[in-house]
Amino acid sequence: MTAAKKTHRITLIPGDGIGPEVSGAVVKILEAAGAATGVAFEWHPYDAGANAFEKTGEYIPKALYDSIEKNRVALKGPVTTPVGGGFASINVTLRKKFELFANFRPVKNLPGLKTKYPGLDLVIVRENMEDLYAGLEHEVVPGVVQALKIITEKGSTRIAKFAFDYARKHGRKKIHAIHKANIMKLSDGLFLRCCQTVGKDFPEVAYHEHIVDNTCMQLVMNPYQYDILLTENLYGDILSDLCSAFVGGLGLVPGANLGTECAIFEAVHGSAPDIAGKDMANPTALLQSAVLMLHHIDEPATAERVQAGLEQVYREGKTLTKDVGGTSGTKAFADAVVAAMEAPLAAA
């Protein structure tokens, strides 16, 4: 007798540009993995950004807010953010709305891809609500604009606790708090004091501090010296992109925005409108973000199945997209991952 499948309600934000293509590929792979592991997904799709505005007059429709609040989990493709004008960042707006205070980005090599730093495995834990990303700007007088950097004891302590808890749970050995407290003595100084205080409760985790500009140099020279990078918002955004280059680029690295009530999992790359609709986009970043989502909703068997299929495709190197040296399209890549996941069943 077949056991009933467990169903998870997931808010899906396909995004724009290549978003619908990579989201569609990921949904197909998750559905195939779930069929083999007894997990079902009920997808609740919503537009955001310019696409949503054209249809509803809102950049983030109320129905999308309600869906995330109800489901508590969302998977999000890339959404274009206009530069220097237009609407506010959808990413930042959603993080603020649902108080997704922790941005979690693991940086790890995929098998078969040649990089300058093989075997890299580090984690960036980035505070997600404060700093210059609070978006508090105003024009003092014509020609003079001021942006306010907001650092609080609550926010800094909360993200430090998240990083140390993760280190303890997953056996990570050291944390580097990244700062510029030599110049911003009050704001970054407060961040460091909070990290130091939290660290005292985790004696098994070695705690270090590096100035952000030195960190950039140290990362390029020897990224293996780091385990977990604990950062404020802006530094974490910059370092995330830098570290992604070590393992093949932004098209491969996952991201999770985590709060106490809700979580949004997203690709960290842009919407790449120049290749939209051409069956060229690489869905790996969003797929690995979906793997993080599967762990979050306590479906480790499904997560491991997806990750194993993905790694098998990279290991074989026969059905990769152009950005990682292959010639295949988005759909063919997704089909290859599905086939790789089904191979163990066929062998059994």
* Whole-number pLDDT of residue 50: 78
Are residues 271 and 304 located together in one domain of the fold? yes
Residues, the chain: 348
The domain that contains 38 carries what CATH number? 3.40.718.10
User: Does the residue 167 lie in any domain?
Assistant: yes
User: Does the residue 113 lie in any domain?
Assistant: no
Are residues 308 and 326 located together in one domain of the fold? yes
* Whole-number pLDDT of residue 3: 53
Question: What is the per-residue pLDDT across 178-204, written as a single tens digit (0 to 9) for each?
Answer: 999 999 999 999 999 999 999 999 999
Determine the angle formed by the axes of helices 212-221 and 233-244, rounding to 10 degrees. 10
2 confidence band (pLDDT: 50, 70, 90): very low
User: Does the residue 112 lie in any domain?
Assistant: no
d(CA 111, CA 93): 35
Q: Which residues pair with 87 in a beta bridge?
A: none
d(CA 189, CA 183): 9
Are residues 293 and 323 located together in one domain of the fold? yes
Helix (H, G, I), strand (E, B) or coil at 61: coil
Are residues 79 and 1 located together in one domain of the fold? yes
* Nearest CA among 332, 290, 338 for reference residue 310: 338
In the sheet where 73-76 sits, what is the strand order?
39-45, 6-13, 73-76, 263-267, 254-258, 102-108, 121-127, 228-231, 174-179, 206-211
**Of the residues 199, 214, 246, which one is the last residue of a structural domain?**
246
Q: How much is the pTM?
A: 0.93
Are residues 193 and 86 located together in one domain of the fold? no
d(CA 231, CA 345): 43
pLDDT greater than 80 at residue 348: no
* Whole-number pLDDT of residue 262: 97
Total tally of structural domains belonging to the chain = 2
Are residues 240 and 253 located together in one domain of the fold? no
User: Does the residue 65 lie in any domain?
Assistant: yes
Question: What is the per-residue pLDDT across 245-273, written as a single tens digit (0 to 9) for each?
Answer: 999 999 999 999 999 999 999 988 888 88
User: Does the residue 47 lie in any domain?
Assistant: yes
* Whole-number pLDDT of residue 41: 97
Are residues 263 and 218 located together in one domain of the fold? no
Alpha helices by DSSP H, listed for the chain, are: 19-37, 50-56, 62-71, 90-97, 153-170, 187-199, 212-221, 233-244, 284-296, 300-316, 330-347
d(CA 150, CA 218): 27
d(CA 115, CA 112): 9
pLDDT greater than 50 at residue 1: no
Question: What is the per-residue pLDDT across 268-324, written as a single tens digit (0 to 9) for each?
Answer: 888 888 998 999 999 999 999 999 999 999 999 999 999 999 999 999 999 999 999
Question: What is the per-residue pLDDT across 27-71, written as a single tens digit (0 to 9) for each?
Answer: 999 999 999 999 999 999 999 987 888 888 888 999 999 999 999
Burial of 332 (0-12, 13-18, 19+ CB in 10 A): middle
Alpha helices by DSSP H, listed for 257-299, are: 284-296
d(CA 284, CA 102): 22
DSSP state of 132: G
pLDDT greater than 70 at residue 347: no
Are residues 242 and 254 located together in one domain of the fold? no
Q: Which two tokens stand for residue 243?
A: 């570290």
d(CA 122, CA 243): 9
Are residues 100 and 167 located together in one domain of the fold? no
pLDDT greater than 80 at residue 344: no
Contacts of 267 (CB under 8 A, 6+ apart): 22, 76, 77, 78, 254, 255, 285, 286, 289
The answer to whether residues 100 and 264 touch, using CB atoms and an 8 Å cutoff, is yes
**Of the residues 246, 273, 295, which one is the last residue of a structural domain?**
246
User: Does the residue 2 lie in any domain?
Assistant: yes
User: Does the residue 237 lie in any domain?
Assistant: yes
User: Does the residue 115 lie in any domain?
Assistant: no
Burial of 261 (0-12, 13-18, 19+ CB in 10 A): exposed
Burial readout 214-231 (b: 16 or more C-beta within 10 A, e: otherwise): ebbeebeeebeebbbbbb
* Whole-number pLDDT of residue 52: 85
Are residues 270 and 329 located together in one domain of the fold? yes
Which range of residues forms the domain containing residue 147? 121-246
Q: Which two tokens stand for residue 147?
A: 């942006």
d(CA 139, CA 224): 43
Question: What is the per-residue pLDDT across 78-128, written as a single tens digit (0 to 9) for each?
Answer: 987 665 555 667 888 999 999 999 999 999 999 999 999 999 999 999 999
Are residues 100 and 163 located together in one domain of the fold? no
Which has the higher per-residue pLDDT, 269 or 152? 152
Are residues 335 and 240 located together in one domain of the fold? no
Question: What is the per-residue pLDDT across 69-91, written as a single tens digit (0 to 9) for each?
Answer: 999 999 999 987 665 555 667 88
What is the pLDDT of the chain when averaged over all its residues?
A: 93
**Of the residues 185, 218, 246, which one is the last residue of a structural domain?**
246
* Whole-number pLDDT of residue 10: 98
* Nearest CA among 41, 52, 42 for reference residue 14: 52
